Amino acid sequence: MVLGMISVDRWAEGSQVYFLTHLHADHTAGLSSRWKKGPLFCSSITAKLFSPKFPGFDLSLLRVLEIGQWYSLSLVSLWSGLETRVEVIAIDANHCPGAVMYLFRGDFGNMLYTGDFRWEVASKITEMGKNMLLSALNNHKVDTLYIDNTYCNPSYSFPSRDVAAQQVVNIINSYPEHDIIIGIDSLGKEELLLYISNTLKVKDKDQKECMQLMQIWVWPERLQTMHILGLHDNFTTKTTLTRIRAVPRYSFSIETLQGLNTMRPTIGIMPSGLPWALNKNKSSCGLPSMKTETIDLDTGNRYRNKVEKQHEYIYTVAYSDHSCFTDIVDFVKFICPTHMKGIVSSSSSYVDPCYHLRHIYGTSSLYGKYMAEEDRESGKGKCKSDERLKRKRIKQYHSSLHKSRVSLLRRFKCGVKLD
């Protein structure tokens, strides 16, 4: 992030301090139990989950950052060779347990790294994040924003996770005699599973009138994670206690569901913002190319068409732990950064965030580069006709942005990776 000083979610040699946003595999690539390159800063929840993820890791390297507190670091500036102070604050990223964004300030200005994040406008966590950022920035601007651009495209519009969770419950209620298989990762979707467990009551075997929460089966390693997070009552590894099972995403496939249906009626649910049916000519996570069926599960909102039946045994629900496009627009308007870079450079939905956010004034590096070029060309003392020509060129530039995405990204490059 700052060459020779700070690395975030990057684990190569050459930095003085390292920061981890969360424990998903794409952010820990290169991190192992034998890693010893320097102090590693993370949230308290991430620190608790560290040992099971990296058994044998030297825990003396971990530095825990509490949410909302400033910390001061003494580093050496590569430019001057002198000691310099860098301050950092961690803010809840509303992504998965332990996930945080980092705001850094120092001689380089203010830098905000979101990591993976969900900026739901109505969320209490988002409201807390807004207040923390306003207080931390204290009317200063963000010079560089490193943003989660996973779904930075107007075509990606998700409901809130509360709405999506109710959609999942509605599907389950539609199949009272079926077993239910839900595909999840090794970390994340805990709030969804808790909502299902607490909403779907079952009769107590001993007391027919007494209702208790629905337990959900998880695999042993996942149960360990749940217990570390303090979730003891909602989950089990005993298949006989429940008809709902949360399984690793990699084991969720057509073949698995077909095999299970030879023994018992079973329905699979994949909760994700990932556009499974984006490319109709290729399979995705075991889902074959096929015409999807839109399901009208009335949840009293405009997002009910986000539930699709991909197969006779499989539903997909747009439950996403990443920000959708409207979330990203709201966040960028709130931050108003001088420069912006995407942290995702390889995904089916990747696009330079500056491309679709060019109309948010002050945030688009594309627009800024163009204006700088125009200013240099116009010079001082130009006549009014030159000003008219400048306005005409700007209009032509905005028009050209609607042309081929490929040609635009060739011109300005893309796929930003942090050094």
Residue 328: inside a domain, yes or no? yes
Beta carbons of 291 and 298 less than 8 angstroms apart: no
Question: What confidence score (pLDDT) does residue 353 get?
Answer: 83
Beta carbons of 78 and 107 less than 8 angstroms apart: no
Measured between alpha carbons, how far is 92 from 67 in angstroms, rounded to an integer? Answer: 7
Residue 65: Cβ within 10 Å count: 20
Average pLDDT of the residues in 353-369? 60
Considering the domain architecture, whether residues 193 and 312 belong to the same structural domain is answered as yes
- Whether residue 38 has pLDDT greater than 90: yes
Of the two residues 344 and 397, the one the predictor is more confident about is 344
Question: What confidence score (pLDDT) does residue 405 get?
Answer: 33
Eight-class DSSP state of 339: E
Looking at every residue in the chain, the average pLDDT score rounds to 82
Beta carbons of 386 and 376 less than 8 angstroms apart: no
Considering the domain architecture, whether residues 149 and 207 belong to the same structural domain is answered as no
- Structural domain total, the chain: 2
Q: Which residues span the domain enclosing 333?
A: 6-155+323-368
Question: What confidence score (pLDDT) does residue 80 get?
Answer: 80
Question: What confidence score (pLDDT) does residue 309 get?
Answer: 85
User: Whose structure tokens read 């509303």?
Assistant: 94
Question: What confidence score (pLDDT) does residue 348 get?
Answer: 53
Considering the domain architecture, whether residues 313 and 170 belong to the same structural domain is answered as yes
Question: What confidence score (pLDDT) does residue 331 get?
Answer: 96
Give the model confidence (pLDDT) of 192-202 as tens digits. Answer: 999 999 999 76
CATH number at residue 220: 3.40.50.12650
Question: What confidence score (pLDDT) does residue 398 get?
Answer: 42
Question: What backbone phi and psi angles, to 5 degrees, belong to 86?
Answer: -125, 130
Measured between alpha carbons, how far is 304 from 163 in angstroms, rounded to an integer? Answer: 9
β-pairing verdict for 100-106 and 216-217: unpaired
Residue 391: inside a domain, yes or no? no
**Out of 295-304, 313-322, 328-337, 366-375, least confident range:** 366-375
Amino acid at 311: H
Highest mean pLDDT among 196-205, 239-248, 289-298, 391-400: 239-248
Beta carbons of 192 and 255 less than 8 angstroms apart: no
| CA dist list (Å): 101 to 244, 251, 327 | 33, 31, 15
- Which DSSP string corresponds to 73-138? EEEE-TTT-SEEEEEEEEEE-SSSTT-EEEEEEETTEEEEE--S----TT-HHHHHHHHHHHHHHT
Residue 418: inside a domain, yes or no? no
Considering the domain architecture, whether residues 211 and 236 belong to the same structural domain is answered as yes
Average pLDDT of the residues in 151-179? 94
Considering the domain architecture, whether residues 287 and 184 belong to the same structural domain is answered as yes
Question: What confidence score (pLDDT) does residue 385 get?
Answer: 53
Considering the domain architecture, whether residues 78 and 124 belong to the same structural domain is answered as yes
Residue 378: inside a domain, yes or no? no
Considering the domain architecture, whether residues 248 and 106 belong to the same structural domain is answered as no
β-pairing verdict for 211-213 and 109-113: unpaired
CATH number at residue 334: 3.60.15.10
Considering the domain architecture, whether residues 343 and 204 belong to the same structural domain is answered as no
Considering the domain architecture, whether residues 147 and 167 belong to the same structural domain is answered as no
Half-sphere exposure of 356 (CA within 13 A, CB side): 20
Beta carbons of 118 and 327 less than 8 angstroms apart: yes
Residue 22: inside a domain, yes or no? yes
Beta carbons of 261 and 224 less than 8 angstroms apart: no
180 token code pair: 């239910």
Beta carbons of 297 and 170 less than 8 angstroms apart: yes
Average pLDDT of the residues in 28-41? 96
Residue 115: inside a domain, yes or no? yes
Considering the domain architecture, whether residues 58 and 119 belong to the same structural domain is answered as yes
Question: What confidence score (pLDDT) does residue 352 get?
Answer: 78
